[in-house]
Structure 1
Amino acid sequence: MLKIINNKDFSDFSDKAKAAPRQRSHHNLHETLDAGVQRLFIATEPDTYMRPHRHSEAHKWELFLVLKGQLDLLIFNEQGEVTERHSLSPETNRAIEVPPNVWHGYACMQAGTVGLEIKEGAYVPTPAEDFAPWSPAEGEDGADEYREWMRSAQVK
């Protein structure tokens, strides 16, 4: 069966993100969480916090394409310093692939941002050791401040 995503769907994804407590929403294209390839649209708003993390499994690369709006990808070293920052938008870099074991996080820079994430499955929740120990967990004290820092942090 064909799966067609149109501009109305993008608007719906964004409306769901705006209404969500986490300020983001997911729309899976894969049928089950154990699918061999995970494909999902992610709508984000500037107040979402995407905590820095890594995918420590050798096969867990992550391909991210921004189709509307802007996200900035931050790459960190083991100490939590920003070593790379890349703008992702229709006007800049459309896509980026993050290899396994790279500390990274995203900062939503524009309301109504919609991206497409593709990665090898099956879906497994991120284990605690794969979240950056130098960043606060979502909902913890300091998470909002860290999110705001991520929006402007520069390479050292």
Structure 2
Amino acid sequence: MKIIDDTLLDEVSAQAKVSPRLRMNYNFHQSLDDKCHRFLNAVEPGTKVEIHRHPTKDESFVLLRGRVRVNTYNDDGTEIESVVLCPEEGLYGVDIPKNVWHNVESLESGSVFFECKEGPFVPHEEEGVLHLQR
């Protein structure tokens, strides 16, 4: 059994802070080929999570601590919806259907969410990244 507690969240957050990408995963699944991927995703302000989609996979995020913004977009890059998740305010997570463009933005240091989606892992380059001129 793996316990999700403050110690684990602190460890993953510390790794995210020193990572060039300003984020770090802690996987509960054993292999990138597993059928179900379950992991912690620690994100720091300034991390770049490109607008992307998973054509065949639903994806769920549950924020354990901190504040993050989750955005969804149309095919032309127009924002459809935006929500700031914050457990202290009663906004805990989102479920994003397959083939919906989305991204995540960290608004607070130490933010960590639990993520679950179907495996196996497919890099975004193969699934889809929305390239917008901003």
Q: Tell me whether the two structures share a fold, i.e. TM-score over 0.5.
A: yes
SS at match of 1:122: coil
The equivalences for 1:26-37 within 5 A come to 26-37=25-36
Give how far 1:6 is off. Answer: 1.4
Residue 121 (1) aligns with residue 123 (2): no
Flag the structure with more relative contact order, 1 or 2, with Cα contacts below 8 A and sequence separation at least 6: 2
CA gap 1:129/1:26 in 2 versus in 1, 3 angstroms: closer
SS at match of 1:53: coil
How many percent of aligned residue pairs carry the same amino acid?
Answer: 35
The equivalences for 1:136-155 within 5 A come to none
Residue 81 (1) aligns with residue 78 (2): yes
Number of matched pairs: 133
What's the C-alpha RMSD, in Å, of the aligned pairs?
1.3
Give how far 1:133 is off. Answer: 2.2
List alignment gaps of at least 5 residues for structure 2: none
The equivalences for 1:2-151 within 5 A come to 2-57=1-56, 60-90=57-87, 91-128=89-126, 130-134=128-132
User: Larger radius of gyration, structure 1 or 2?
Assistant: 1
When normalised by structure 1's length, the TM-score is 0.81
Runs of 4+ in 1 over 2 A off after TM superposition: none
Cα deviation digits, residues 8-47 of structure 1 (max 9, x gap): 1111111000000000000000011111100010101001
Distance 1:78 1:122 in 2: 25
